């Protein structure tokens, strides 16, 4: 296989896996049992998950090489999902 | 087209991986899942401590392993597409077989997790969190089972020299990656959110 693609795909997989393993640290970093609500942690978790999803879309699914329309639609979904999820999680939390 | 876009267009040939219909389906499906996630967060908000107490019954390590296995499957499927594009159909076939193996590992792990939860008496009707847990994991599992059909299509295309439709292989891969990224979201929202 073309070495450039081989390395690129391996690097993407490595980054995605390291971020996933990072969740284990986050769990111990939080208060553990009983689980406590944390807006900062949860907001980060939602955003990091969407960064991972976007990386899968751009690299594994090759949206990076796709026409502008598809790239914009994918980004639109990522932004929409981030807004909806963060909005719902955070709304009223300040009170 | 602005000049920056034109420059990019000169540098790389644009293409949609696989059939555009699959992309329409994936964008639609992703929006449906965003709506499911919104409903989940809305209900969670009504009883954060109750949801967190139930969530503590889930094993984060299992969720991490599930995710790592699906990421491996996505990686091998992406390698399958690249190998097939370069005409290396032997390597592509090996990679689709590897993807099937990772997918089966996910099946075993998920069924094991459900069995353990049911053993603990945690079922669909235990509480709201577990209703959502089973709803999300089962609906994802159904998508994964349909994914086996697509992996089978890619396998079939690669197995015979007379077939080898790159478009069908890419379409199958695109579907498979959706199974992966939907799980990434479900995992974060069910197992990690606080």
Q: Which residues of chain A lie closer than 8 angstroms to B48, CB-CB?
A: 37
Instruction: State the greatest distance between any 2 C-alpha atoms of chain A, in Å, as a whole number.
Output: 56
Nearest to B139 by CA among B34, B43, B63, B33: B33
**Tokens representing residue B112 in the block:** 């094991």
Q: Is residue B91 predicted with pLDDT exceeding 90?
A: yes
Kindly state the DSSP code that residue B18 receives in the 8-state scheme.
S
Give the angle subtended at the CA of A24 by the CAs of A20 and A27, to the nearest 5°.
125
Q: What is the ipTM of this complex?
A: 0.90
Query: A44 CB near a chain B CB, below 8 Å?
Result: no
Give the angle subtended at the CA of B43 by the CAs of B41 and B49, to the nearest 5°.
90
Task: State how far the Cα of B98 lies from the Cα of B15, in Å rounded to an integer.
Answer: 26
Q: Which residues of chain A lie closer than 8 angstroms to B16, CB-CB?
A: 66-67, 70
Tokens 């689980």 belong to: A35
pLDDT tens for each residue of B16-46: 999 999 999 999 999 999 999 999 999 999 9
pLDDT tens for each residue of A25-69: 765 544 455 677 788 889 999 999 999 999 999 999 999 999 999
Task: State how far the Cα of B106 lies from the Cα of B68, in Å rounded to an integer.
Answer: 9
> Which backbone phi and psi does B47 adopt, to 5 degrees?
-150, 65
The residue of chain A nearest to residue B11, with distances taken between CA atoms, is A65
Could you give the 3-state DSSP secondary structure of residue B163? coil
Interchain CB distance below 8 Å, B55 and A35:
yes
Task: State how far the Cα of B56 lies from the Cα of A69, in Å rounded to an integer.
Answer: 42
At B162 the pLDDT is 87
Cβ–Cβ contacts within 10 Å for residue B82, how many? 21
Query: Over the Cα atoms of chain B, what is R_g?
Result: 19
Q: Which residues of chain A lie closer than 8 angstroms to B176, CB-CB?
A: none
Task: State how far the Cα of B17 lies from the Cα of B177, in Å rounded to an integer.
Answer: 12
In a mutational test of the A interface, the residue from B15, B48, B75, B76 whose CB has the highest number of chain A CBs within 10 Å is: B75
Interchain CB distance below 8 Å, B79 and A77:
no
């Amino acid at each position: 296989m073309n070495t450039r693609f081989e390395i690129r795909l391996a690097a993407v997989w490595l980054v995605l896996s390291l971020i996933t393993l990072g969740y284990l640290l986050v769990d111990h970093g939080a208060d553990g049992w009983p689980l406590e609500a944390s807006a900062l942690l949860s907001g980060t978790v939602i955003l990091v998950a969407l960064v991972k999803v976007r990386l899968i879309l751009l690299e594994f699914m090759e949206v990076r090489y796709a026409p502008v329309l598809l790239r914009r639609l994918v980004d639109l979904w990522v932004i929409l999902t981030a807004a909806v999820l963060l909005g719902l999680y955070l709304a009223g939390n300040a009170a | 087209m602005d000049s920056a876009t034109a420059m990019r267009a000169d540098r790389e040939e644009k293409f949609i991986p696989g059939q555009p219909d699959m992309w329409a389906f994936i964008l639609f499906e992703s929006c449906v899942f965003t709506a499911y996630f919104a409903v989940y967060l809305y209900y969670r908000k009504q009883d954060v401590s109750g949801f967190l107490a139930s969530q503590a019954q889930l094993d984060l390590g299992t969720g991490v392993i599930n995710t790592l296995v699906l990421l491996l499957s996505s990686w091998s499927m992406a390698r399958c597409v690249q190998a097939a594009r370069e005409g290396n159909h032997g390597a592509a076939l090996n990679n689709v077989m590897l993807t099937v193996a990772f997918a089966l590992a996910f099946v075993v792990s998920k069924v094991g997790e459900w069995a353990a939860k049911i053993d603990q008496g945690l079922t669909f009707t235990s509480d709201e969190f577990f209703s959502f847990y089973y709803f999300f994991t089962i609906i994802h599992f159904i998508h994964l089972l349909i994914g086996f059909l697509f992996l089978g299509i890619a396998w079939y295309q690669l197995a015979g020299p007379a077939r080898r439709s790159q478009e069908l292989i890419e379409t199958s891969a695109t579907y498979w990656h959706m199974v992966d990224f939907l799980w990434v979201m479900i995992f974060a929202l069910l197992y990690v959110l606080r």
